C-alpha cells in the first residue's frame, strides 16, 4: 500500500470514531471505528485502513475473519456480523454501513413458535415422558410409541436434569439392542443353515437350481415382510410428536428403523418396487413417482408424495430428527409434479406445493413451505427464478413401470440369488478336499493345513475378485454405454434406463476410489473408467477417495484442477417420465472442496474455487477467476495471501523431486491398505471355516456365533490399523504443503481408517464406544445417528449432545496446495441438525443448535444456547420465518420452525 493515501479508522476514548484524513463523524463512522479496534487486535496491528480489502489488502483469510466475527459478537456495543457479511462487505466502511442498514430495517414481526404450536390434550407431556421410569413405559402396552406433539423450541435440558435415570435407560437400551442383534443373527443363521442343507440335498444341477430359486423366493419374501410386519406391530401408525431417547418408545423406533433400512427392497431404489415398499410401510405416495434416494424414510406414515414427483439422489427426508435428548417426528408433504434435486434436506414439518421445485444442495427448515408452482434453492431455501427442470417429459405408461419392476424382481430371484446360493452348495460339493478338511475332527483349528488352506483361499478370492472387478468396471459399462446417446430424451423404466442404472452401479466402486484416491494413480483409474481429464498436471492429490458420477464417459475435468472428497457429478437430468444423459464439464485450474454436487449445467469456468458444500449455480454468466461459497452461492476471493506461501514447492525441479517422494509414500500406503484388508479377509475366512467345522456339533448357533465374532473382530482390527497408522498417537493440528511428509502421513491415515462398518452402530451406545476406541473424545450419553469424523483424535463432543444423520465434523481443509487441520469441539447438550457440516477450528458452546444442512465454517465460535443455521451458518436469533415462506397451497398447520 505504499505510495497511496489511506484513511485509517481509530476510536477515541469517548467511543466516537473518526476517519483520519477526513474527520467524518456519525453512527456509521462510530461503528467502523469500533470494528477497526477489534480487527486491529485480531491482526495484531496498530491501525487498520478504512477502505482496505480484508483479503486482498490486509492479507486476512476466512479463519482470521471468523475470529474477528467471534470477537465482535462478544461486544454489546457492536452489531452481530457473520462470515457472509464479511465476504459481501469486505471493508470496514462497507461493513459498518451494511450493519447500520440492517439495524434500520428489522425483520417483519411474525407469530413466535411458542404461540403457533398445537398440543393434543390427550397425550403425555414431554417432561412427563422424560422423567418417567423404564417400567412405567413398558407397562403402557400400546402398539404405538407415546408421541406427543413437538414442543416449542426451548433451551436443551441440562445434564443435571437427566441424571442417573437417563444413564440407566441408556445402558439398558444398549443391552436390549445387543440382544436384538444377537437374536436376529441367530435367526438368520438358522434360516441359512436349513436352506443350505435343503439345497445341498438336491440331485443334479437342475434340481439344485430349482431348489435355489424356491429358497431365494421364500427368503426374499420373508426379508421384505419382516420390516413391514415389525412396523405395524411395534409402532402402528406414526404420529407427529416426540419421545425421549433410550426409552421403550425409542427402542421400538430403532428396531423398526434398522429393519426398514436393511430390507432387500432397498436394492430397488429408483424402481416402482421401491415405491410399493414405502406404500406398504404407510407412506402416501401417488402414481408415477420416482424416488432415487437411498436414505429410506422411517416414519413413513408422515410422508406424503403426490403424483408425478421426482426425488433425486442423496435426499434426506426421514420424517424424524433427534433434538436435545428426544426423537421428534413430523410430516413431510410433497405435492404433485414436484422436483426435489440432489443433496437436499427436508426437515420435519415442511411442505412443497404442486409443481414446485427445490434446487440441489438446498434444504427446507422446519416450518418452511414452498407454494405451488414456485421454486426455491439455498439453505435454508429462498425464492429463485432458476428452473431446475431441464428435460422434457415423454410417454411412460403404467404398464412400462410395471414391466420394469417385474423384470427386476425376476432377474434377482431367478439369476443372481440362485447363482449365489446354489454356487455355494456346488463349491462344497465339488471340493472334496475342503469337505474332508472341515469334517475331520483331527484337523480343524489345530492343523497347519487348516490355516494354509484358508490363506490360499483368501489370496485367490481377494486378489482374484480385485482383478476381476478392475476388468468389469471398464469393459462391461463401456459396452453398455454404446446404447445411450448424449442429449437424447429416453422414457423412464425402459431398456435405456436400465442400461444407465447399470453403468452407474458398476462404475461407482468405492473400493477402487479408496485404493487409488489421494495419489497419482487416481487420474489413471478415472481415465480407465472413461473420464475426460484433458492434459493432466499431476499433483499427487488431483482427486480424493470419494468421487461419484452418473456416467463416467460424460464427465470432464480440466487441466490443473484439484478435487477434494465427496464430489458427485450429475450427468443425468430427470423428469417423472423421462431422462437424458449430458456431458458435465469442470473447468481447468479449479479447486473443489468437500461435499459438492456438480450439475451438467454448472456455470463455472477457469480458475475457480468451489468451497465445501457450495451450491454450484446453473444460471447467469460463467464464473471465472473467483471463489464461490454458500447455498445459494456468492463470490469470494479465489485465494488468499497465506496460501501462497507454498507456491515455490509447486513448480520446477522442486515439484518433481517432492512429487516423486510423495508417489513412493502413496504407493507404500496403497500396499499397506491392501495388506490390511487381506488380513481382515483372511481372518474372516478362518472364522467362516471354523463355523463350518463346528456346524456338525453346534448346528445353526455356530453360524450365528461366527457373525458376532466377525463383527467384533472387524471393529478391533480396523481400530488397531487406524491407530497404528498414526503411531498410536493423537493427531496434531497442521498447516503445511501437500508436498510435505506430514501431509502424506495424514493421507495414509485417511486410507487406512476404514469406518464404513460403524454405520451399523448408528443410534446405539456402542457407536460412542467405537469412537472412543478410535481416539475421539466423546462425552456421556451422546446420541449419534450417523455422524462422521474424518479426524477422530481432533474431535471433542460433550455430554448429552445429539448428532443427527448425515452430519460431519471435519477437522481439516485443503485449498490448492495448502493443507490445514485443527481441533473442533462441541460442548454439552449441543445438537447438530440433519446433514450439518462442521469445519475445523470450531468451538460450539453448551446447548447450541446447528440447523439442518448448515455449514459451520472454520474458526467459528457459537455461543452457548444459540441457534445457528444456513450455508454458511450464522446466528438465527429470532427463530422466525418470513411470511412468504410460511404460505403455501394446502400447507398443514404445524409448529413453525426457524429460518433466516
Q: What is the pLDDT of residues 276-316, one digit of tens each?
A: 999 999 999 999 999 999 999 999 999 999 999 999 999 99
Q: Rounded to whole angstroms, what are the CA distances from 568 to 155, 166, 390, 555?
A: 37, 41, 18, 11
**All three cell numbers of 82:** 457473520
231 pLDDT band, cuts 50/70/90, is: very high
Contact residues for 870 (Cβ-Cβ < 8 A; gap 6+): 84, 379, 380, 630, 851, 854, 855, 876, 900
Average pLDDT (888-895) is 35
Q: What is the 3-state secondary structure (H, E, C) of 213-277?
A: HHHHHHHHHHHHHHHHHHHHHHCCCCCCEEEECCCHHHHHHHHHHHHHCCCHHHHHCCCHHHHHH
Mean pLDDT lowest among 5-9, 374-378, 415-419: 5-9
Mean pLDDT check: name the lowest of 318-327, 447-456, 517-526.
447-456
Q: Of 2.160.10.10, 1.25.40.80, 3.40.630.40, 3.50.50.60, which CATH number belongs to 650-869?
A: 2.160.10.10
pLDDT-based confidence at 195, cuts 50/70/90?
A: confident
Asked if pLDDT for residue 748 goes beyond 50, the answer is yes
Query: What grid cell was written down for 643?
Result: 496460501
Query: In the 8-state DSSP scheme, what is residue 583?
Result: -
Which CA distances in Å does 381 have to 50, 149, 406, 432? Answer: 34, 25, 38, 64
pLDDT grade for 640, boundaries at 50, 70 and 90: low
Candidate ranges 85-94, 123-132, 346-355, 683-692; pick with highest mean pLDDT: 346-355
- Is residue 900 very low, low, confident or very high in pLDDT (cuts 50, 70, 90)? very low
Judged against a pLDDT cut of 50, whether residue 340 lies above it is answered with yes
Query: What is the percent of the chain with per-residue pLDDT over 70, rounded to a whole number?
Result: 84
Weakest mean pLDDT among 105-119, 322-336, 401-415, 780-794: 105-119
Instruction: Look at residue 654 in the predicted model and tell me its pLDDT.
Output: 86
Mean pLDDT score of the chain = 84
> Assign residue 237 a region: left if phi > 0, alpha if psi is -120 to 50, beta otherwise?
beta
Q: Which of 608, 214, 595, 717 is nearest to 417 (CA)?
A: 214
Residue 609 buriedness (CB in 10 A; 0-12 / 13-18 / 19+)? buried
pLDDT (0 to 100) of residue 336: 96
Decide if domain 8-104 falls under CATH 1.10.3720.10. Answer: no
- 650-869 matches 8-104 in CATH topology: no
Residue 418 has pLDDT above 70, yes or no: yes
* Residue 643 binned pLDDT confidence (cut-offs 50, 70, 90): low
Please spell the DSSP secondary structure of 475-508, one letter per residue: HHHHHHGGG--TT--EETTSHHHHHHHHHHHHH-
Q: Look at 700 and 26; give whichever has higher pLDDT.
A: 700
More confident residue, 106 or 480: 480
What integer is the mean pLDDT of 37-65?
82
* SS3 assignment, position 626: coil
Dihedral pair phi/psi, residue 625, rounded to 5°: 70, 20
Q: Quick one: pLDDT band at residue 432, thresholds 50, 70, 90?
A: low
Rounded mean pLDDT of 667-693?
92
Query: Who has greater pLDDT, 700 or 759?
Result: 759
Tell me, rounded to whole angstroms, the distance of Cα 98 from its chain centroid.
Answer: 35
Higher pLDDT, 284 or 432: 284
Q: Which range is least confidently modeled, 158-172, 383-397, 523-537? A: 158-172
Q: What is the pTM of this model?
A: 0.86
pLDDT over 80 (residue 435): no
Q: Is the pLDDT of residue 884 over 50?
A: no
What pLDDT does 352 receive?
97
What confidence tens digit (pLDDT) does each residue in 696-725 have? 788 788 888 888 899 999 999 999 999 999
Task: Measure the CA–CA gap between 640 and 58, rounded to whole angstroms.
Answer: 10
Res 51: pLDDT: 82
The pLDDT of 89-102, averaged and rounded, is 80
What are the sequence ranges of the domains in the chain?
A: 8-104, 431-638, 650-869
Sorted by sequence, the CB contacts under 8 Å of residue 352 that are 6+ apart come out as 333, 334, 335, 338, 340, 358, 364, 369, 370, 888
- pLDDT confidence of residue 423: 65
Q: Which has more confidence, 30 or 774?
A: 774
List residues bridging with 320 in a β-sheet. Answer: 329
Name the one residue in this structure whose C-alpha cell is 415422558: 129
Residue 229 has pLDDT above 50, yes or no: yes
Indicate if the pLDDT at residue 727 is higher than 80: yes
Specify the pLDDT at position 713: 94
- Rounded Cα–Cα distance for residues 321 and 716 (Å): 30
Q: Give Cα 736 to chain centroid, integer Å.
A: 27
- What pLDDT was estimated at residue 139? 35
The residue whose grid cell reads 405395524 is: 232
Dist. CA 312–CA 480, nearest whole Å: 23
Beta bridge partners, 572, equal 581
Q: How much is the pLDDT for 781? A: 94
Sign of the Cα torsion 214, 215, 220, 221 reads positive
Note the pLDDT tens digit of each residue in 126-168. Answer: 333 333 333 333 333 333 343 444 445 445 544 455 567 888 9
- Which CATH code for domain 431-638? 2.160.10
Burial state string for 304-338 with b = 16 or more CB within 10 A and e = fewer than 16: bbbebbbbbbbbbbbbbbbbbbbbbbbbbbbbbbb
Q: Which residue has the higher pLDDT, 24 or 497?
A: 497
For 815-864, write each residue's pLDDT tens digit: 888 899 999 999 999 999 999 999 999 999 999 999 999 999 999 999 99
Contact present, 267 and 404 (Cβ < 8 Å) = no
Q: What is the DSSP string of 671-694?
A: HHHHHHHHHHHHHHHHHHHHHHHH
Amino acid at each position: 500500500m505504499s505510495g497511496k493515501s489511506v484513511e485509517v479508522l481509530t476510536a477515541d476514548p469517548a467511543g466516537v470514531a473518526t476517519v483520519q484524513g477526513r474527520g467524518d463523524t456519525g453512527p456509521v463512522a462510530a461503528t467502523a471505528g469500533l470494528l477497526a479496534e477489534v480487527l486491529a487486535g485480531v491482526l495484531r496491528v496498530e491501525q487498520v485502513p478504512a477502505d482496505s480489502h480484508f483479503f486482498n489488502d490486509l492479507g486476512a483469510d476466512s479463519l482470521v475473519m471468523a475470529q474477528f466475527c467471534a470477537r465482535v459478537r462478544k461486544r454489546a456495543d457492536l452489531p452481530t456480523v457473520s462470515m457472509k457479511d464479511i465476504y459481501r462487505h469486505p471493508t470496514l466502511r462497507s461493513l459498518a454501513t451494511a450493519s447500520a442498514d440492517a439495524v434500520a430495517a428489522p425483520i417483519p414481526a411474525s407469530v413466535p413458535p411458542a404461540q403457533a404450536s398445537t398440543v393434543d390434550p390427550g397425550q403425555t407431556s414431554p417432561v412427563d415422558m422424560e422423567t418417567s421410569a423404564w417400567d412405567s413405559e413398558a407397562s403402557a402396552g400400546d402398539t404405538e410409541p407415546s408421541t406427543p406433539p413437538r414442543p416449542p423450541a426451548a433451551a436443551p435440558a441440562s445434564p443435571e436434569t437427566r441424571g442417573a435415570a437417563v444413564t440407566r435407560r441408556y445402558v439398558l437400551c444398549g443391552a436390549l439392542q445387543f440382544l436384538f442383534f444377537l437374536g436376529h443373527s441367530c435367526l438368520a443363521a438358522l434360516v441359512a443353515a436349513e436352506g443350505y442343507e435343503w439345497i445341498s440335498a438336491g440331485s443334479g444341477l437342475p434340481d439344485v437350481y430349482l431348489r435355489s430359486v424356491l429358497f431365494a423366493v421364500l427368503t426374499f419374501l420373508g426379508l421384505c415382510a419382516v420390516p413391514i410386519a415389525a412396523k405395524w406391530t411395534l409402532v402402528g401408525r406414526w404420529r407427529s410428536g416426540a419421545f425421549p431417547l433410550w426409552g421403550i418408545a425409542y427402542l421400538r423406533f430403532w428396531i423398526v428403523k434398522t429393519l426398514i433400512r436393511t430390507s432387500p427392497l432397498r436394492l430397488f431404489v429408483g424402481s416402482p418396487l421401491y415405491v410399493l415398499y414405502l406404500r406398504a410401510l404407510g407412506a402416501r405416495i401417488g402414481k408415477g413417482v420416482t424416488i432415487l434416494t437411498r436414505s429410506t424414510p422411517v416414519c413413513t406414515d408422515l410422508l406424503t408424495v403426490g403424483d408425478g414427483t421426482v426425488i433425486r439422489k442423496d435426499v434426506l427426508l426421514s420424517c424424524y430428527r433427534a433434538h436435545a435428548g428426544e426423537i421428534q417426528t413430523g410430516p413431510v408433504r410433497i405435492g404433485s409434479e414436484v422436483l426435489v434435486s440432489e443433496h437436499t434436506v427436508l426437515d420435519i414439518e415442511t411442505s412443497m406445493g404442486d409443481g414446485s421445485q427445490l434446487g440441489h444442495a438446498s434444504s427446507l427448515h422446519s416450518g418452511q413451505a414452498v407454494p405451488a408452482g414456485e421454486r426455491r434453492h439455498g439453505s435454508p431455501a429462498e425464492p429463485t427464478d432458476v428452473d431446475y427442470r431441464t428435460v422434457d417429459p415423454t410417454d411412460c405408461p403404467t404398464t412400462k413401470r410395471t414391466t420394469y419392476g417385474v423384470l427386476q424382481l425376476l432377474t434377482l430371484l431367478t439369476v443372481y440369488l440362485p447363482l449365489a446360493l446354489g454356487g455355494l452348495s456346488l463349491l462344497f460339493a465339488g471340493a472334496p478336499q475342503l469337505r474332508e478338511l472341515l469334517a475331520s475332527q483331527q484337523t480343524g483349528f489345530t492343523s497347519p493345513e487348516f490355516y494354509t488352506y484358508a490363506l490360499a483361499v483368501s489370496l485367490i478370492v481377494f486378489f482374484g475378485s480385485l482383478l476381476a472387478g478392475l476388468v468389469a468396471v471398464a469393459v462391461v459399462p463401456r459396452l453398455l454405454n454404446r446404447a445411450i446417446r448424449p442429449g437424447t430424451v429416453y422414457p423412464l423404466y425402459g431398456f435405456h434406463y436400465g442400461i444407465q442404472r447399470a453403468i452407474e452401479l458398476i462404475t461407482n466402486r468405492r473400493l477402487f476410489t479408496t485404493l487409488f484416491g489421494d495419489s497419482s494413480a487416481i487420474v489413471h483409474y478415472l481415465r480407465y473408467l472413461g473420464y475426460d481429464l484433458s492434459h493432466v498436471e499431476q499433483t499427487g492429490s488431483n482427486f480424493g477417495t470419494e468421487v461419484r458420477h452418473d456416467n463416467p464417459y460424460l464427465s470432464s475435468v480440466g487441466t490443473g484442477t484439484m478435487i477434494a472428497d465427496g464430489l458427485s457429478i450429475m450427468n443425468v437430468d430427470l423428469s417423472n417420465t423421462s431422462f437424458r444423459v449430458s456431458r458435465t464439464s469442470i473447468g481447468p485450474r479449479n479447486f473443489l472442496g468437500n461435499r459438492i454436487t456438480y450439475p451438467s449445467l454448472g456455470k463455472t469456468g477457469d480458475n475457480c474455487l468451489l468451497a465445501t458444500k457450495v451450491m454450484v449455480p446453473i444460471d447467469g454468466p460463467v464464473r471465472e477467476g473467483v471463489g464461490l461459497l454458500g447455498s445459494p452461492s456468492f463470490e469470494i476471493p479465489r485465494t488468499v495471501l497465506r496460501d501462497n506461501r507454498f507456491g515455490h514447492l509447486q513448480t520446477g525441479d522442486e515439484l518433481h523431486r517432492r512429487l516423486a517422494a510423495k508417489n513412493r509414500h502413496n504407493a507404500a500406503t496403497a500396499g499397506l491398505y491392501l495388506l490390511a484388508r487381506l488380513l481382515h479377509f483372511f481372518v474372516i475366512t478362518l472364522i467362516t471355516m471354523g463355523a463350518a467345522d463346528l456346524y456338525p456339533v453346534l448346528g445353526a448357533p455356530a453360524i450365528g456365533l461366527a457373525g458376532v465374532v466377525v463383527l467384533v473382530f472387524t471393529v478391533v482390527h480396523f481400530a488397531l490399523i487406524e491407530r497404528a497408522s498414526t503411531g498410536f498417537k493423537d493427531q496434531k493440528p497442521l498447516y503445511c504443503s501437500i508436498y510435505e511428509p506430514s501431509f502424506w502421513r495424514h493421507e495414509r491415515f485417511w486410507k487406512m481408517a476404514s469406518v464404513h462398518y460403524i454405520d451399523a452402530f448408528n443410534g446405539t451406545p456402542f457407536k460412542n464406544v467405537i469412537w472412543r476406541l478410535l481416539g475421539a473424545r466423546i462425552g456421556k450419553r451422546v446420541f449419534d445417528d450417523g455422524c462422521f469424523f474424518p479426524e477422530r483424535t481432533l474431535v471433542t463432543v460433550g455430554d448429552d449432545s445429539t448428532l443427527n444423520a448425515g452430519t460431519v465434523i471435519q477437522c481439516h481443509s485443503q485449498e490448492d496446495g495448502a493443507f490445514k487441520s485443527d481441533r473442533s469441539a462441541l460442548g454439552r447438550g449441543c445438537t447438530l441438525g440433519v446433514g450439518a457440516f462442521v469445519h475445523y477450528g470450531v468451538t460450539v458452546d453448551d446447548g447450541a443448535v446447528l440447523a439442518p444442512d448448515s455449514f459451520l465454517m472454520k474458526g467459528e465460535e457459537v455461543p452457548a444456547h444459540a441457534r445457528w443455521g444456513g450455508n454458511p451458518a450464522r446466528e438465527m436469533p429470532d427463530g422466525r420465518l418470513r411470511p412468504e415462506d410460511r404460505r403455501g397451497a394446502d400447507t398443514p398447520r404445524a409448529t413453525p420452525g426457524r429460518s433466516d
